[in-house]
A and B are shown apart, each in its own frame.
Chain A
Amino acid sequence: NAGVTQTPKFRVLKTGQSMTLLCAQDMNHEYMYWYRQDPGMGLRLIHYSVGEGTTAKGEVPDGYNVSRLKKQNFLLGLESAAPSQTSVYFCASSRKSGGSAYIQYFGAGTRLSVL
């Protein structure tokens, strides 16, 4: 019953440090997404993936990289963190086809502060 699991839940970085956020889903979904949520800005799509080994840019991709080496995992990397990347990050997944293919299921989020 895990659904979408994000690790870590909280993290504090110094400017210039790097880190990787991990998203894992156990629903065998083809599509996976990374969003950031900031006050007044809503959910903004960073990168997404339509299948293992494929990734695509979303609305705000700069400063982030992603990888999808396994179908169930989607990694978000920050190579050199900046204070502007302080945010809450959400991962989501959805099916490719079927009656409810457009429904995205979200993880609990990762709260990141960059000092």
Chain B
Amino acid sequence: QKEVEQDPGPLSVPEGAIVSLNCTYSNSAFQYFMWYRQYSRKGPELLMYTYSSGNKEDGRFTAQVDKSSKYISLFIRDSQPSDSATYLCAMKPGGSEKLVFGKGTKLTVNP
């Protein structure tokens, strides 16, 4: 079993839809959880991050962490064509220098 599992998609939705992106993980030591967004032919950029369990909201984006289920989610409300990108989850245990990335989910929002 891989440490981090992420459905690669692709995922195609109409503009205005609510998008749910998810990752599962197996390492109970993970404490820091991140979502990166990567536009085509660009480097990943940090979108959201959370420490331990709970929710975090930033505009149209909400990140959720459920440590009991080893499951993290990113919700995008009122999706826009500009949200079309690959979304990568990333996580790490405390005290480690390294992140463990999911393989990414490619999202297309159609106008």
- In the complex, the answer to whether B45 meets A102 with C-beta atoms within 8 Å is no
Chain A residues with a Cβ under 8 A of chain B? 4, 31, 33, 40-43, 45, 48, 50, 58, 90, 94, 100, 102-109
With A102-B92, A108-B42 known as contacts, the answer to whether A42 contacts B34 (CB < 8 A) is no
What's the nearest-Cβ distance from chain A to residue B35, in Å?
11
Complex CA distance for A40 and B44, rounded to whole angstroms: 16
Complex CA distance for A4 and B90, rounded to whole angstroms: 19
Q: How many residue pairs between the two chains, A and B, have CB atoms under 8 Å in the bound complex?
A: 45
Complex CA distance for A100 and B97, rounded to whole angstroms: 12
Interface residues on B, range: 20 to 34
Q: Which applies to chain A's interface (DSSP): helix, strand, loop or mixed?
A: strand
- In the complex, the answer to whether A58 meets B98 with C-beta atoms within 8 Å is yes
Residue of A nearest to B100 (CB): A45
With A40-B103, A41-B103, A42-B103 known as contacts, the answer to whether A105 contacts B46 (CB < 8 A) is yes
B75 contacts the other chain (Cβ, under 8 Å)? Answer: no
Task: List 8 tightest A-B contacts by C-beta distance, closest first.
Answer: A42-B103, A106-B43, A102-B32, A43-B101, A106-B44, A108-B43, A109-B43, A107-B43
- In the complex, the answer to whether A43 meets B44 with C-beta atoms within 8 Å is yes
- For chain B, residues 23 to 49, give those with C-beta under 8 angstroms from any C-beta of chain A: 32, 34, 36, 41-46, 49
The winner among B42, B43, B44 for most chain A CB atoms within 10 A is B43
- For chain B, residues 59 to 111, give those with C-beta under 8 angstroms from any C-beta of chain A: 88, 90, 92, 97-99, 101-104
Complex CA distance for A105 and B42, rounded to whole angstroms: 12
